Amino acid sequence: MRVAVRRLTKRWGAVVAVHDVSLEFARGAFTTVLGPSGCGKTTMLRLIAGLEEPTAGEIWIGDRLVFSSTEHINVPPGRRGVGLVFQSYALWPHMTVFDNVALGLRQRGLRGEALARQVRAALNRVRLEGLEDRYPGELSGGQQQRVALARMIAVEPQVLLLDEPLSNLDAKLRLEMRAELKRLHHELGITVIYVTHDQVEAMALSTRVAVMDRGRVVQYDTPDRIYRTPADRFVADFTANPVMNFLEVDVTATEARADGLVLPLDPQGPPPGRYILGIRPEDCGVSPNPVSGSIPFRVYAELSAGPDQFLHLRRDTVQLVVKTGGRLRVQPDQIVYVTLYLDRLHFFDPETGRRVEAAR
């Protein structure tokens, strides 16, 4: 079932948590709402679930208008047909896995063999068969998380709302659970709306990502397009993995200049003017020897993590982080030669932060 919000606003006094947001979450899609702490993503989910009342706007679930400020419609949470899993997944500690999962089904009047069948089916879906009689305290964090998911999918919601469901797990379990979630989405084919502040998670899981900044959606696009064409400096910065370089540059018809640094720009530059230039660490080549068109930089520090190597470079006041293709043997203060991939540069307006496309 698709979910749509139209001109949705939620205010608490002077705080505008969600600011005039219109979004369509496509049927069967895995859509992520991504943004930093306080940007309004949890509020958006709670509005859709019916746990908070919007100040203004409309919410549609399927073809049903479940909230409208002008038509005074406000369908209660239990009748919206959505399942919600929170960050703290709150299993009942004194109940077995079976009883935790059975909770919602019992509330709907299911009993006996029909109940047992549906509980087992939900546990199979999250690969927890055989653990029915355990108590939550006897499970790992990842298993507890999966019980919470099983409890949700047991009642067969048409829409699943997930609020940072993996945030209490360690890195290895998170990765495992991401794969389980993606598989589950594939098998159930239901509409998932997922909230996270983790851009890697958002990019890995989603069909589409809505990036939020201070209550507004600043870009709503596929992960690939967000990576390739971030709509503004905030999106570029927030979705960087792990960082994006930003330099103030003066652009002329043929080049960009930044404090002693000259970059040829033919033919990818924007119209002449002053810009913030964004360069991803992986969009540069780096070599210990001069290469045609390369720029010499001094190595400030070398950081390696497994197969990834990052060089922190300096040239006058310009600082640049680059990711090497492999493993370069370099010493601090050594000179290395950087080639920027000119077709992958990003230009932003210094006043508004908005992306500026190449003019030619």
Query: Which position among 40, 57, 136, 281 is part of the footprint of ligand ATP (CB under 6 A)?
Result: 40
Q: How far is the CB of 35 from ligand ATP (least distance, A)?
A: 6
Contact 213, 39 (CB under 8 A): yes
Of 41 and 146, CB closest to ligand ATP: 41
Q: Which stretch binds ligand ATP (CB under 6 A): 11-19, 139-147, 257-265, 278-286?
A: 11-19
- Residue 41 binds to ligand ATP (criterion: CB under 6 A): yes
Q: How far is the CB of 77 from ligand ATP (least distance, A)?
A: 16
Helices 112-125 & 171-188, crossing angle to 10 degrees?
A: 120
Nearest to 46 by CA among 82, 92, 1, 7: 82
Query: Which position among 3, 5, 8, 17 is part of the footprint of ligand ATP (CB under 6 A)?
Result: 17
Backbone angles phi and psi of 97, in degrees to 5: -55, -45
Q: Using CB atoms, what's the residue nearest to ligand ATP?
A: 42
Of 123 and 193, CB closest to ligand ATP: 193
Query: Which position among 151, 185, 197, 355 is part of the footprint of ligand ATP (CB under 6 A)?
Result: 197
Measure the CA–CA gap between 298 and 283, rounded to whole angstroms: 18
Write the CB contacts of 319 (distance below 8 Å, at least 6 apart in sequence): 245, 300, 312, 313
Backbone angles phi and psi of 184, in degrees to 5: -60, -45
Query: Which position among 35, 57, 165, 278 is part of the footprint of ligand ATP (CB under 6 A)?
Result: 35
Query: Which position among 9, 31, 32, 43 is part of the footprint of ligand ATP (CB under 6 A)?
Result: 43
Sign of CA dihedral 181, 182, 185, 186: negative
- Residue 12 binds to ligand ATP (criterion: CB under 6 A): yes
Contact 307, 321 (CB under 8 A): no
- Residue 165 binds to ligand ATP (criterion: CB under 6 A): no
Measure the CA–CA gap between 69 and 92, rounded to whole angstroms: 36
Of 40 and 136, CB closest to ligand ATP: 40
Q: What's the Cα-to-Cα distance from 263 to each of 77, 254, 327, 350, rounded to whole Å?
A: 56, 9, 26, 19
Angle at 203 between CA 198 and CA 204, to 5 degrees: 100
Q: How far is the CB of 197 from ligand ATP (least distance, A)?
A: 5
Query: Which position among 7, 15, 26, 317 is part of the footprint of ligand ATP (CB under 6 A)?
Result: 15
- Residue 168 binds to ligand ATP (criterion: CB under 6 A): no
Q: Is 14 exposed, middle or buried (0-12, 13-18, 19+ CB in 10 A)?
A: exposed
- How many Cα atoms are found within 13 Å in the side-chain-facing hemisphere of 126? 26
| Residues within window 116-145 making contact with ligand ATP, judged by CB under 6 A | none
Q: What would the x/- binding string for ligand ATP be over residues 282 to 321, using CB under 6 A?
A: ----------------------------------------
- Residue 5 binds to ligand ATP (criterion: CB under 6 A): no
Of 15 and 253, CB closest to ligand ATP: 15
- How many Cα atoms are found within 13 Å in the side-chain-facing hemisphere of 185? 22
Q: How far is the CB of 17 from ligand ATP (least distance, A)?
A: 3
Of 197 and 280, CB closest to ligand ATP: 197
Of 53 and 357, CB closest to ligand ATP: 53
Q: Which stretch binds ligand ATP (CB under 6 A): 33-41, 55-63, 91-99, 296-304?
A: 33-41
DSSP state of 360: -
Write the CB contacts of 199 (distance below 8 Å, at least 6 apart in sequence): 34, 238, 239, 240, 241
Q: Identity (one letter) of the amino acid at 301?
A: A
- Residue 39 binds to ligand ATP (criterion: CB under 6 A): yes
Of 15 and 262, CB closest to ligand ATP: 15
Query: Which position among 37, 289, 292, 331 is part of the footprint of ligand ATP (CB under 6 A)?
Result: 37
Which residues contribute to the site for ligand ATP (CB under 6 A)? Answer: 12, 15, 17, 35, 37-43, 197
